[in-house]
Structure 1
Amino acid sequence: MTSVQELAKMIDHSILHPTMTDNDLKRECAVAAQYNVASVCVKPYAVKQARQLLENTDVYVGCVIGFPAGNSAIEVKVFEAETACNDGAVEVDMVINIGKALQGDWEYIELEVSSVTKVCHKNGAIVKVIFETDYVADKVDIKKLCEICTKVGADYVKTSSGFGFVKGADGRYSYMGATIENLKLMRENSGPNVKIKAAGGVRTLDGLLAVREVGCTRCGATATVAILEEAKKRFGE
């Protein structure tokens, strides 16, 4: 039987939009505490404040690294991750170097993911590796990334940042985010110790249940209230 609390503990409540202020952070951390989600995922400068806001709760503080485009040097990502850990983050969501993945420079990607994973584990934090599957869309590349993350001991593989906008022929930008097809592919090609996180586009209870069905144990969301209120109606308190 599904419970609302089980579903809440799948959610990483995202507080990442560039326009968000400290007041937005306070409001969204209060939402995270009210619904007792798994974690908040915040911008690097906000880690200390989020840690204080969630001090007496069971909600973890997570932080994004190299976000959203993944372009920082490896040394910068390592420094950023270590700083986040020192500020109180216990979960780190890092974006890979997308261009390096697209050109098949797997040695670089392995060094990057390994370096960030090592510093996070040294500081007691877990690592979620963001592939940005709207850009790195080839199934062979996604499979290779899963194999690398398994090899270096990353804790999660993750589909998207939520900001991987692709320019269409009409000049408009859009993104798909997590797809069931990609999540299945990631589950099939990741080791048993690597978990799967869906991110981008999961905005409904049915969406959350669908990604859980294919093996996700975490899901990034901004529609947390809508999802969990619907869960209360469907499954009871």
Structure 2
Amino acid sequence: MSRTEEAWKIAINEKSYQALRTIDENTAPLNTPTTSFSSITQPSDTLFPLCIDHTLLKPDATPAQIDTLCDEATRFGFKSCCVNGVYVKQVAARLQSSTSIPCAVIGFPLGASTTAVKVFEAKDAISNGAREIDMVINIGLLKTGSSYSAVFEDVHAVAQACQSQGIPLKVILETIFLSDLETVAGAFIAAEAGAAFVKTCTGFNGGGATKEDVDLMYRTVRYKKGDVKVKASAGIRSFEKCVEMLRAGAERIGTSSGAAIMQNANVSAASGTY
């Protein structure tokens, strides 16, 4: 729902108080993040591949590498292949007989495109076969603390374009630039605007996902009762790191290391490590 700027500030301050208070009081079982993925302890768990967005967003990615990405996603049963818009049509064709789906990024990696451009990008990606959209929030406006309405309208416009086609929207907050209050604000605004997921980072600006940020985002959006989930992305290159994020409340993992994680896990399992 849209609000006045003052109403947004009040709502965000209240949400921040609630989310940070539950972290400080993290002794009651009720306060421990619990999702369908938080109980995963082995890479052989059939749920594990279903939380992986197999990702290739490098500027020098080639069509052949995109094909390899798709083949790996099909082999391991990953949830999606996440690519730049130029490759969505190729991915959709390559995954036709796969359970994996095409995912496209928009406003990537800065979030500084106009809303009209983000909406066009989303519609274009969907028309080319994207079945999920990951957009970058307007980071600069979010950080001002005085433009919450504009941030909401930006996300809401893209969410509507996606929802009209039955496509889930994930909103990237770029948490490496945000304070706890700003992280809460971004997650709350995205949830109110119609996002299906809130996501940590692009991976293009240093740093990466932390369990603390994932936990804070989870506690911010859980009032939606499962309608809004958390995606952890950037710097996740091992099964152990995936588990850390899932236990913090993530239900999706964005990683370019999905195949390596599964291959290493298979080798470890064969040698009795797990």
TM-score, length basis structure 2: 0.79
The Cα RMSD (Å) is 1.5
- Match in the other structure for 2:234: 200
CA contact (8 A) 2:212 2:248 kept: no
Residue correspondences, number: 226
Name the CA shift for 1:235/1:211 in 2 (closer, same or farther; >3 Å): farther
Q: Which runs of 5+ in 2 are unaligned?
A: 1-39
Cα distance in 1 for residues equivalent to 2:228 and 2:267: 32
| Unpaired stretches in structure 1, ≥5 consecutive residues | 165-174
User: What are the equivalent positions in structure 2 for 1:63-78 lying under 5 Å apart?
Assistant: 63-78=104-119
Q: Is the radius of gyration larger for structure 1 or structure 2? A: 2
Question: How big is the shift at 1:5?
Answer: 2.9
Secondary structure in structure 1 of the residue aligned to 2:234: coil
With 2-11 and 33-42 compared, the bigger mean Cα shift is at: 2-11
1:14 aligns with 2:45: no
* Equivalent residues of 2:54, 2:256 under 8 A apart: yes
Q: Kindly indicate which of the two structures has a greater share of residues assigned to helix.
A: 2
Give the Å deviation of 1:123: 1.1
Determine the structure 2 residue equivalent to 1:168.
Answer: none
Alignment of 1:124-139 (within 5 A): 124-135=166-177, 137-139=178-180
Cα pair distance change 1:43/1:68, threshold 3 Å = same
Q: Deviations over 1:82-137 (max 9, x none)?
A: 111111101000001111111121111100110000100101210000001112x2
What is the deviation of 1:230?
3.2
Alignment match, 2:7: none
Rounded to whole Å, the distance in 2 between the matches of 1:150 and 1:49 is 31
2:207 pairs with one of 146, 171, 176:
176
Shift of 1:233: 4.5
What corresponds to 2:74 in structure 1? 33
Partners of 1:4 and 1:162 in 2: how far apart?
27
Asked whether 1:229 is paired with 2:263, we answer: yes
Detail structure 1 runs of 4+ shifted over 2 Å in the superposition: 1-5, 229-236
Matched with 1:153 is 194
- Write the deviation string for residues 28-84 of structure 1: whole angstroms up to 9, x where unpaired: 111111111000101101111100001000001100000011111000000110111
Letter in 2 for 1:201: G
Matched with 2:135 is 94
Deviations 1:140-168 (A, max 9, x none): 0111112112212210000001102xxxx
Deviates more, 1:144-153 or 1:33-42: 144-153
Displacement of 1:235: 5.7
Question: Aligned with 2:174: secondary structure?
Answer: coil
Percentage of identical aligned residues: 34
Measure, in 2, the Cα distance between the counterparts of 1:208 and 1:235. Answer: 17
Match of 1:189 among 220, 225, 230: 220
TM-superposed CA distance for 1:231, in Å, is 3.1
Give the secondary-structure state (helix, strand or coil) at the position aligned to 2:65: helix
SS at match of 2:252: strand
Indicate conservation of the 8 Å contact 1:4/1:235, yes or no: no
Per-residue CA distance 1:7-35 (angstroms, 9 max, x = gap): 11111011110010111111111111111
Structure 1 CA distance for aligned equivalents of residues 246 and 261 of structure 2: 14
